[in-house]
Amino acid sequence: MDLFQEFLQHCVNALQWGSFYALIALGYTLVYGVLRLINFAHGDIFMVGAYIAYFVATFFLAQSGWGLTHIMVLILTVPLTMILTSMVGVGLERVAYRRLRRRGAHRLYVVITALMCGLILENGNLALLGASRKKFPDDLIEKVNWDFFGISVTNLKVLVIFAAVIVFVLLHFIVTRTRIGMAMRAVSWDKFALPLMGIPLDRVIVFTFALGSGTAGLGGVLFAMSYPVLEPYMGVMIGWKAFIAAVVGGIGDIRGAFVGGFLLAFVEVMVVFFGWSTLREFFAFSILLGILWVRPTGLFGTAPTTKI
């Protein structure tokens, strides 16, 4: 395999990872776009999604009497996981954020709360389920490996990329073209005027969290199918990276999250391509620091103005 082929192979991987980042980043950006809140527990919601997918899938596989084929199990697992994960996300909003929001607490308190929720989810998982790693059933779909001029592309990778694009298009449609999407954008402009205009604030926020967490849940299923070994801290790094992606694109902007996800994945893959694979985190976080320092609004964001 020559260098160019190797490069292209890396690009395919970048597309796959970019899709994971994008799926999670979309959740960050949705919540931020509406509430101006960085939901740091989002990476762990993704982890919870993967675990839910594991439990759902193994449950269905164990019911041999129901006569489910593997592909049917998959078709059942995806929506069920998404629904359950959105319930976790909504629950988080209800337990952790709503109270702070109603009290009008300072943003920093909300950030700490989010960070702590993340830690509680990770460590709670470890404490409850123990250190033994869970292995996601990796035979839900028949693995097919296509070969394009020496570049191998699995059907799973295609599925992941495809799912990310569809979710992006769907979310973009919801936010820009539907009534609830309009309400979501309205919340981000003025939280206090909204109830006066007859828009139920809480319902909009719950919807936002459900949407974001559901997307993360889908990411969890797809990730578990691609990398079947699950562990409680799996959401930490990928969550951070997705957050970086959202910031790169301009947090709060759906297009930004999508583009940012792929951009970050390409940067990372290039780092690996040049043989510095252990420095991936270093580069990712340096990019984050650099962007926040020089252009905090990212690619698509607009700067807020200070008034005296």
Partner 1 sequence: MKKYTLNIVFVLLCAGVVLASQYKLLDRYILTVLMLMGINIIFATSLNLVNGNMREFSCGHAGFACVGAYVGSVLSVLLFTANKYTGQPLLSPSLAPLLFPVIMLAAALVSAVFGLLVALPSFKTRDDYLAIITIAANFIIISIIENSEQIAEQIFGAKSFGTFINGSRGFSGMKRTVNAMNDVAHIPWMEIWVILGACFCVFVLYRLVTSTYGKGIDAVAQDEIAAEIMSVDTKRTKLIAFMVSSGLAGISGVLYAHIYGYVNASSFGILRSTEALVMVYLGGMGSLSGCIMAAIAFTVLVEALRPGLRFLNDNMHYLGMLPDGYEISEVWRWVIIPLILFLLMQFRPEGLLGNRELTHVFPKLKNWFTLR
- Give the residue ranges of DSSP H helices in the chain: 3-35, 42-62, 70-92, 98-103, 107-129, 155-177, 179-189, 193-196, 201-226, 234-249, 254-273, 280-294
CA dist 283 → 15, 278, 290 (Å):
18, 10, 10
* One residue of 14, 22, 23, 38 binding partner 1 per CB under 8 A: 38
Residue from 171, 211, 247, 248 binding partner 1 (CB under 8 A) = 247
Nearer to partner 1 (CB atom), residue 15 or residue 230: 230
Is 203 near partner 1 (CB under 8 A)?
no
Of 100 and 206, which has the nearer Cβ to partner 1? 100
Q: Which of 26, 53, 56, 117 binds partner 1 (CB under 8 A)?
A: 117
- The window from 59-67, 103-111, 161-169, 173-181 that contacts partner 1 (CB under 8 A) reads 103-111
Chosen residue from 113, 208, 213, 226 binding partner 1 by CB under 8 A: 113
Tell me which residue has tokens 């930490």.
Answer: 236
Contact between 132 and partner 1 per CB under 8 A = no
Q: Binding of partner 1 at residue 91 (CB under 8 A)?
A: no
Angstrom distance (rounded) from CA 102 to CA 106: 11
Name residues contacting partner 1, limited to 277-306 (CB under 8 A): 278-279, 281-282, 285-286, 288-289, 292-293, 296, 306
**Of residues 181 and 260, the one with the C-beta less far from partner 1:** 260
Name which position in 68, 100, 159, 186 contacts partner 1 (CB under 8 A): 100
Report the SS3 class of residue 275. coil
116 in contact with partner 1 (CB under 8 A): yes
Convert 99-158 into a string of H (helix), E (strand) and C (coil).
Answer: HHHHHCCCHHHHHHHHHHHHHHHHHHHHHHHCCCCEECCCCCCCCCEEEECCEEEEHHHH
Asked whether the beta carbons of 5 and 149 are under 8 A apart, the reply is yes
Q: What angle do CA 222, 214, 114 make, to 5 degrees?
A: 105
Binding site for partner 1 (CB under 8 A): 38, 96, 99-100, 105-109, 111-113, 115-117, 119-120, 123-124, 126-127, 130, 240, 243, 247, 276, 278-279, 281-282, 285-286, 288-289, 292-293, 296, 306, 308
